[in-house]
């Protein structure tokens, strides 16, 4: 982002992913109006000491957002029950090839590093429970 042209911290510039928080529940993928999110995952059986049966765990293999198609509505960020998606105000990621606007799990994780803390609410506002995980 140009230093002399900072975007407001809450600007909808790009979406960052906390892959470790994602449970592959598919809600964001299914709610996306432009079908621009793709997610691949598989289940693994995890044996836990003391448990009668192994527990099924979803493992996230791939997660990508196509920013050529994304309409920046933020529904995915809103519906995520596990707080894995966050807005970053970064906006300079034009590409020469449209295929490069498909940002994968790694790239989305890098975007998360640019997510600023939420601004404090005005006095008297309802307290927001959600916090940017550090």
Q: By C-alpha distance, which of 110, 41, 108 is closest to 70?
A: 108
Of 35-43, 79-87, 110-118, 125-133: span binding another protein (CB under 8 A):
35-43
Whole-number Å distance between alpha carbons of 108 and 73 = 17
- Binding to another protein, residues 7-26 (CB under 8 A): 7, 11, 13-14, 24, 26
Judged by DSSP in three states, 101 sits in: helix
| Residue 59: partners with Cβ closer than 8 Å, 6 or more residues away | 24, 41, 42, 43, 44
Q: With binding defined as CB under 8 A, does residue 35 bind another protein?
A: yes
Question: Which range of residues in 27-35, 46-54, 77-85, 120-128 is near another protein by CB under 8 A?
Answer: 27-35
List the interface residues with another protein, window 60-89 (CB under 8 A). Answer: 66-73
- Round to whole Å and give the CA distance between 41 and 3: 38
Residue 47: Cβ within 10 Å count: 8
Nearer to another protein, 42 or 130 (CB): 42
Residue 55 found at the interface with another protein (CB under 8 A): no
Contacts with another protein by CB under 8 A lie at 2, 5, 7, 11, 13-14, 24, 26, 29-30, 32-35, 37-43, 56, 58-59, 66-73, 91-98, 101
């Amino acid at each position: 982002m140009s230093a002399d042209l900072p975007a407001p911290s809450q600007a909808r510039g790009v979406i960052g992913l906390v892959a470790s928080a994602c449970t592959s529940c598919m809600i964001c993928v299914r709610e996306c109006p432009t079908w621009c999110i793709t997610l691949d995952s598989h289940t693994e059986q995890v044996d836990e000491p003391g448990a009668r049966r192994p527990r099924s765990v979803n493992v996230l293999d791939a997660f990508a957002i196509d920013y050529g198609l994304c309409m920046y509505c933020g529904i995915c960020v809103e519906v995520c029950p596990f707080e894995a998606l966050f807005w970053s105000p970064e906006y300079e990621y034009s590409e020469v090839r449209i295929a490069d606007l498909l940002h994968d799990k790694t790239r989305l994780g890098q975007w998360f590093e640019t997510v600023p803390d939420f601004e404090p609410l005005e006095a008297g506002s309802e307290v927001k429970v959600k916090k940017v995980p550090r």
